Each structure stands twice: as structure tokens, then as C-alpha cells.
Chains A and B, each alone.
Chain A
């Protein structure tokens, strides 16, 4: 059955998508917006994305991978943005397993071993 990817932008779209996949393992990668050339304002996100993508095949069958762009730099820096308030995100990039306390933040996302552990952890 494999896994599938959904790309979303902004908090409401993220929540709607996550809710529609209720019952399946959901992993989400949150990154800063990309410009016209496809480059993010967040340099750590640029480093982390390929590392994470390389490990996606380790996710359990039936998983959903949500790739979520959070917004521009100004939105992210606002301490009251919805991602910080509701999902308790503290930084980008963040890779998490939705509905559990398991997550990797910033430089932790650069490490293939940690990413693999998150995807395969029981």
C-alpha cells in the first residue's frame, strides 16, 4: 500500500488535512515558505528537506506524509502564530508524528538516523 504525500500551506489547511486522515499514521514536516525559485527563507529547512525525503520509505504502510509550509518569515516570528499556539511548535524545520509527543526540531532533522527512528518507532 505504501504511503502518500499531501502538500499544504497554512494552519487551517494543515488541520483539515490531518483530520481527514484520521486513523492513519501521520507524519508532518513544517518548513518556511518557498520563493519563486523554490528556495525557503529558512536555511535549516533547505538542509533538512532532502534528508527527510530520503527516509520516507521507512514510514509504515498506509502512512500520510504532510509537507506543510507555515508562512513567511514575519508570520513565523510572531510568537502568537497558530502553529506555535496550537501545535506548540518551537522552530522550523520540525518533523513530528501527529498525535504523539514524538518530534525532531531544527538540527535534529539533519540526522538521517533520528529521522529513521521517528518513522519506524513503535
Chain B
């Protein structure tokens, strides 16, 4: 965007390899080890389910259909490679200089870059934008870095993970556990306390129930304390020892792969922010910014997952970045609107949401001032193959004091992301319950509910 306004731009992108040596190309987390490969693998799992349903719709095939991890992974990585290349071409066409080098501040208006061969260069600039994102957190227990993998490794794993233990109950943990189980693998999820912290808990529990009923095992209220290797191999066999979060009980289990998804930490500690005086939250590593994405140092800005108290979503970071540049160089005044940003969790039963969760709405407006409308629904496509008839669910949360304005939208069912997008636009326009009721539904689709 900045190059559009004839600014001279330098982009520094460098991936510190994972403990197991994995690295990737230009594009950041979403493209390489996040949203893109995740959605593709989720789709692979959905297609597996569709094959099961197909017979009920009349398709005849007698062979057992199996999944090949390598075929899927190669296709996914190939696609990602084309995206990496596309970004290289796009940057070059707009005359943006790109360096595959690690950047750190060494003094006012000055960064030092170090490439993978250790060659250093110095650059100065008028303004800087930090968008270094996050990396997966490790447990800090014996054997974690040597034997466990994270989402950074999963999407390019050169062998099928086999029987997997997923540690964590974040959306990353549940989405991964979900598609691994959907591909036919034996999956267990080890949860310290609740599922999907920060999301509507009523829905979080429904998601957990659905996954349990569809073969994912859950070990609740335990944390791993040790990971040992029993057998080498790709995959080998790992022994995990875990302790109860509530007492002294110890359990053990054997798995081919242990996937850690317990959170992500900002990459703000080793980039020299102290040398230029940028304040960060010492505890979390996040950078506080004003509503124009500016740090406490006027010529340094930040966007994306590293921001304090802002949503960690790719489209939010992109929008914030674009608007920032337009404000700086094109005289625009729009600021990034962080309210009513829709999201979707791609668990086996997808969950789309926009606005307040039920708990957050009750806390902010008071239980007596909100009204919740909800309904279970049975997608037409699920009737013939006799799939669950009481799992899909939709609810909206309305503010009684404000004309019953819809302040929370939640849908649990197939294609939740597609369904949610349109309702998010309506919520941005201030849709009320009455307007929603007056909108005639499309039939037969899930969204009409």
C-alpha cells in the first residue's frame, strides 16, 4: 500500500526455524502455518465425512477409502509455495525491496538486518512498522522442544502423525484435533481447564461434546509434566506423563506425536525495542498502541497479533495496516474499527461468531437488559445420511435498551464462516431484532434459521 504512494519501502521477513528445524517462505503465519493450510486440511477431513454420506445418497463404491497424509501435505505445501512466490512477484512489481533477514533496532531510526548466512547490513528510515506476529509457546517441561511438535511443524510434517496427543484447548488445538480425527487418526486432547477461553462458553461446550461424540478423546484437567522418547522413528513412540491440575494424580500415555497448542507468544523481545524506547507489556510481550496503531515512539507503528488488547486475526491486521498507510500518505482519516469483527472456528462442527458472547453481554449490559433468541436446526443435507439432528445451533443476543439491537451473533453448523460474513455486515449497520425478523429467509439453507 505504501509503495502505491511512491514511498521507498523495505520489507524484512525472517523465520527463526522451529526447534525441529522447520522454516517457511514469505507471507507470515496465516499463509504458511495458519489459516490457509488449516482450512485446507479441515476441508480434507470434511471430504472424508462427505464420502461416508455419499453412499446414503446413492453413490456406490465398495472399497474402503483411505487417506494419504503425504499426498495432502504435498498439495497443500505446493499451494503455499505459489502464494510465497506470488508475494515476491507482487512486492517486486511495486518496487518494494524485500530482504529475507532478521531485523532489529540498534538506535534511533536505524535497524540492523542479519540474513541466514550471518551477513549484516544497516538501514535507516523515516518510519517503521512492526508486524512480527507470534510463535507457539512451549510447555517448559523435559522433552518438549526435542520431541513435541507445534502448528509450525504440523502442516509440513513429512510423515503421518499417527496416534496424536494435542495439548491445549485453544481454537488451534481443537481445529487441529478435529481435522486429524476427521482424517482417521486416533486423537486425544489434554485440557488444563476450559475449552476456547474467551469464546462463548455455551457454544464451546457444544463443540467439545460434538467432537467427543465423533471419536476425539478428551483428558480434562491434566497438564503434561514430562515427555520421553520410547522409540525413534517417523513417527516414533513418545511417553507422556501428566499430573492433575487439581491434585496429585499422575497418568501416563503413549502416542506417536504430541502437538502443543497452548498459546502463542509475541516476537517482540529480541528486536531491539529497548534501544529505541518502545514500551512493551513486560508480562505478555505485547505492544500497546493508540487508536492509530502508533507506539509510544511517534515514528514507530505496529499492527497484527503483537498489539495489546486487539483481536489476533489476519484480516484485522491487514485492514489496520492499509488504513494506517492511507492515513499517513493519502490524507485519509479512517481508523481501523475493531468492533463487531466476525470470526470463525473451523472445528469439525464450525462455529461463526460476531460481537458479544453471552457472558460478555451479560457482564457489560446486565442480564436483565439482554434477550437471547436461539434455536437448534437440522441441516437438510444431514437428514438423508441420518446425521445428528440436534447439534447445529444458532443464537443472537439483543440489547433490549437499544431497540433490541443485535449485539451478538453465534452459529454452530456447516459453512459457519460463509453464513456469518453477511450477518456481520448487517450488524455493522446496526441491525435490530425486528429488522432481522423482517428479512425473509432463503430456503432451504441453514442461514434461514
Whether B89 and A114, one on each chain, are in contact in the complex, defined by CB atoms closer than 8 angstroms, is yes
Shortest B384–chain A CB gap in Å is 36
Interface hits, A77-122 → B, CB 8 Å: 100-104, 108, 111, 113-114, 117, 121-122
Chain B residues bordering chain A, tally (CB within 8 A): 10
**Nearest CB on A from B312, distance (A):** 28
State the CA gap A101–B26 with chains docked (Å).
14
Provide the residues of chain A in CB contact with B263, threshold 8 Å. none
A-contact 0/1 string along B71-92, CB 8 Å cutoff: 0000000110110010011001
Q: Which of A102, A103, A114 is close to B93, meaning CB atoms less than 8 Å apart?
A: A114
B89 touches A100 (CB 8 A): no
The answer on a CB contact under 8 Å between A111 and B88 is no
Measured in the bound complex, the distance between the Cα atoms of B93 and A114 in whole Å is 8
Contact partners of A114 in chain B: CB under 8 A:
89, 92-93
Docked pose: A113 CA to B89 CA in angstroms: 10
Q: B78–A117 contact, CB under 8 A?
A: no
Majority SS of interface residues in chain B? helix
- A104's partner among B78, B81, B89, B100 (CB-CB below 8 A) is B89
Q: 8 Å CB contacts to A: which residues of B334-364?
A: none
Nearest CB of chain A from residue B299's CB, rounded to whole Å: 30
**Residue from A101, A103, A117 within 8 A of B92 (CB atoms):** A117
Instruction: Identify the interface centre among B82, B89, B93, B100: most chain A CB within 10 Å of its CB.
Output: B89
| B409 → A minimal CB distance (Å) | 38
Most buried by B among A100, A101, A117: A101
* Shortest beta-carbon distance from A41 to chain B in Å: 27
Check A101–B93 contact: CB distance below 8 A.
Answer: no
CB of B76 to closest CB in A, whole Å: 12
Whether A100 lies near B81 (C-beta < 8 A) is yes
- Give the nearest-CB partner of B80 in chain A: A101
B73 → A minimal CB distance (Å)? 15
Query: What residue in chain B is nearest A104 (Cβ atoms)?
Result: B89
Report the nearest A residue to B89, measured CB to CB: A114
Residues of chain A with a CB closer than 8 A to B85's CB: 100-103, 121
Bound complex: CA A100 to CA B74 (Å)? 12
User: How many angstroms from the CA of A50 to the CA of B273 in the assembled complex?
Assistant: 48
- Among B147-175, those with CB < 8 Å from A are none
- For B89, list chain A residues within 8 Å (CB): 104, 108, 114, 117
| Contact B88–A117 (Cβ < 8 Å) | yes
Contact of A111 among B79, B81, B93 (CB under 8 A): B93
- For residues 59 through 109 of chain B, which have their beta carbon under 8 Å from a beta carbon of chain A? 78-79, 81-82, 85, 88-89, 92-93, 100
* Distance A101 CA – B31 CA, assembled complex (angstroms): 15
- Compute how far the CA of A40 lies from the CA of B89 in the bound complex, rounded to whole angstroms: 27
In the complex, what distance in Å separates the CA atom of A8 from the CA atom of B75? 29
B88 and A101 contact, CB distance less than 8 A: no
* CB closest chain-A residue, reference B95: A113
Q: Which of B82, B88, B93 contacts A121 (CB 8 A)?
A: B88
CB distance from B95 to the nearest CB of A (A): 9
CB pairs A–B below 8 angstroms (21 shown): A100-B81, A101-B78, A101-B79, A101-B82, A101-B85, A102-B81, A102-B85, A104-B89, A108-B89, A108-B93, A111-B92, A111-B93, A113-B92, A114-B92, A114-B93, A117-B88, A117-B89, A117-B92, A121-B85, A121-B88, A122-B100
The 10 closest A-B pairs by CB, nearest first: A101-B82, A101-B81, A102-B85, A101-B85, A101-B78, A117-B92, A114-B92, A113-B92, A114-B89, A100-B81
| Given pairs A104-B89, A108-B93, A113-B92, 4 additional interface contacts (CB within 8 A) | A100-B85, A101-B79, A111-B93, A121-B88
